[in-house]
C-alpha cells in the first residue's frame, strides 16, 4: 500500500478517503467497459467534479477548495494505485497540467469564466503541444495563429492530445510570430468554434480508456482575449509549468509501481512451484528486496519534491530527476513483476499485464527520459 508520509496532514488523509470511495464507486464498476471502448463516459467528469476531485488547488475566490498541490497528489496516487491509469491520466491532464496554466497566466476574466467550469466538470480541458512532426522539440511547432482584426485565425494539426475527444477547451501552442521560441504563444480555443475538428481516437499500447486524439484547426477564428498570457511568451510559460507536469508523472509512476509490487508480493505467496510457494525461493526474495528498496528511495524523493513544490521552491532540475528516476524505476519494477508472475503475467486477464502496458509511456510523455537527462546534465 501507499506508505503514510509526513508530507501530508490530517486534511489530506480525509481527502484520500474521499478519492478511494470515488474510485470504488465511480470507476471500478465501469473500468473494463471504458477500456474496451477506448474512452470514459462523459458523466465521469461530472461525478469527479461533484466529488471535489477536479482542480483542488484552485483558490476559494475562483470556486475551488483552496488546497495546495498535495491535494492533487492524493488524487494522482490513489487513482494510479487503484490501477486506473486511463481515467487517472484524464484527470491529471485537466487538473494537474491545464489548470496550472490558467492559474499562472490567465486574466481575471479568463479565470472567472473557465475555472469554475473546470472544477465542476462542465468544461474538460486539454493542452495541445505535440504535432505530427514536433515532439520534444517544441520550437518546431507549425500550427499558426495569424492576427486578423480583433482576433486570430488558427490553422494546423496536433496529435497525441489527451482528453482529445471529450475536451471543451484546448490550450493550444501556436506560432504567432517568426521561427524559434520567441514566435510562440498560447491560445484558449473552444472546441465548438467553426473549423475545429477532432481526428481519430488513437489506438494505444496502454492507457486504453484515455481518449488520446488528433486535432485539426482549419481557419478557426479565436478572439484576441483568448490569448493566454503575453504573445510570444509560450516557451517561458511552458518551462514554468513543466516542473509540475513532470512531478505529476513521477507520482503517477511510483504509485503504479507500488501497486505492481504489492500485487506481485501477494501472487508469489499464493503461487506454488516445485512443492512450495514461489516466495520461498531465494531468487524471488532478493528480487523483491531490490524492488522494495527502489520504491522506498523513490517515495522519499517524491515527498521532498512535494514539500518543495507546496512551498513554491521546486525547480526544473529536481522535477526532471523525479520524472526520470520514477518512470525508469516503474519500468524496472513492472518488468520484474511480470517475470515473477511467469506465463500468467503475459495474460491480459491478470492486472499485472495491464500495469506493464500502462507503464511504457511514462518514459516518453511529459519529456522523454533522454530529455530529462539533458536537462539534468545542464545543472552539473
Active site members: 245
Residue 173 CA to residue 40 CA, distance in Å, equals: 26
Q: Which residue has the cell 477506448?
A: 38
Helix/strand/coil for 264: helix
Helix %, strand %, coil % for the chain, to 5? 55, 15, 30
| Grid cell of 248 as nine digits | 505529476
Nearest to 285 by CA among 237, 336, 251: 336
Residue 348 CA to residue 64 CA, distance in Å, equals: 39
- What is 265-315 written as a DSSP string? HHHHHH-EETTEEGGGSHHHHHHHHHHHHHHHHHHHHHHHHHHHHHTT---
Burial, 149: exposed, middle or buried (Cβ in 10 Å; 0-12, 13-18, 19+)?
A: exposed
Residue 108 CA to residue 364 CA, distance in Å, equals: 34
Sign of CA dihedral 294, 296, 302, 304: negative
Provide the 10 A C-beta neighbour count for residue 360: 16
Given a contact cutoff of 8 angstroms between Cβ atoms, the answer to whether 53 and 119 are in contact is no
Nearest to 69 by CA among 100, 115, 90: 100
Q: CA 339, 293, 324, 186: dihedral to nearest 10 degrees?
A: 100
Q: Give a three-class secondary structure readout of 145-172.
A: EEEECCEEEEEEEEEEECCCCCCCEEEE
| Beta-sheet strands, E only, within the chain | 125-128, 144-148, 151-161, 169-175, 184-190, 196-201, 213-223, 272-273, 276-277
Amino acid at each position: 500500500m501507499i506508505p503514510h508520509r509526513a508530507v501530508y496532514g490530517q486534511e489530506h488523509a480525509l481527502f484520500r478517503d474521499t478519492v478511494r470511495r470515488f474510485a470504488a464507486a465511480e470507476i471500478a464498476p465501469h473500468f473494463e467497459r471504458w477500456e474496451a471502448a477506448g474512452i470514459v463516459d462523459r458523466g465521469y467528469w461530472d461525478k469527479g467534479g461533484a466529488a471535489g476531485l477536479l482542480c483542488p488547488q484552485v483558490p476559494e475566490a475562483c470556486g475551488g477548495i483552496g488546497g495546495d498541490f498535495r491535494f492533487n497528489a492524493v488524487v494522482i496516487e490513489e487513482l494510479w494505485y487503484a490501477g486506473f491509469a486511463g481515467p487517472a491520466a484524464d484527470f491529471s491532464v485537466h487538473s494537474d497540467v491545464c489548470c496550472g496554466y490558467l492559474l499562472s497566466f490567465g486574466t481575471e476574466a479568463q479565470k472567472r469564466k473557465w475555472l469554475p467550469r473546470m472544477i465542476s466538470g462542465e468544461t474538460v480541458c486539454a493542452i495541445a503541444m505535440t504535432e505530427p512532426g514536433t515532439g520534444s522539440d517544441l520550437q518546431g511547432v507549425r500550427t499558426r495563429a495569424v492576427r486578423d482584426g480583433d482576433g486570430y485565425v488558427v490553422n494546423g494539426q496536433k496529435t497525441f492530445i489527451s482528453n482529445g475527444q471529450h475536451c471543451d477547451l484546448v490550450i493550444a501552442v501556436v506560432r504567432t510570430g517568426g521561427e524559434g521560441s520567441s514566435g510562440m504563444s498560447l491560445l484558449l480555443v473552444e472546441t465548438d468554434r467553426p473549423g475545429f475538428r477532432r481526428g481519430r481516437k488513437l489506438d494505444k499500447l496502454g492507457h486504453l480508456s484515455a481518449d488520446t486524439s488528433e486535432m485539426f484547426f482549419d481557419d478557426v477564428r479565436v478572439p484576441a482575449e483568448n490569448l493566454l498570457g503575453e504573445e510570444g511568451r509560450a516557451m517561458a510559460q511552458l518551462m514554468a509549468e513543466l516542473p509540475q507536469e513532470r512531478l505529476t508523472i513521477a507520482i503517477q509512476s511510483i504509485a503504479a509501481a507500488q501497486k505492481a509490487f504489492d500485487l506481485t508480493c501477494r501472487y508469489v505467496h499464493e503461487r506454488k512451484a516445485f512443492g512450495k510457494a514461489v516466495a520461498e525461493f531465494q531468487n524471488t526474495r532478493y528480487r523483491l528486496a531490490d524492488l522494495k528498496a527502489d520504491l522506498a528511495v523513490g517515495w522519499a524523493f517524491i515527498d521532498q519534491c512535494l514539500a518543495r513544490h507546496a512551498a513554491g521552491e521546486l525547480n526544473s532540475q529536481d522535477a526532471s530527476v523525479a520524472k526520470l528516476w520514477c518512470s525508469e524505476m516503474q519500468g524496472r519494477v513492472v518488468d520484474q513483476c511480470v517475470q515473477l508472475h511467469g506465463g500468467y503475467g503475459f495474460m491480459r486477464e491478470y492486472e499485472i499485464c495491464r500495469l506493464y502496458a500502462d507503464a511504457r509511456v511514462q518514459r516518453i510523455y511529459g519529456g522523454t527520459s533522454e530529455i530529462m537527462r539533458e536537462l539534468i546534465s545542464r545543472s552539473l
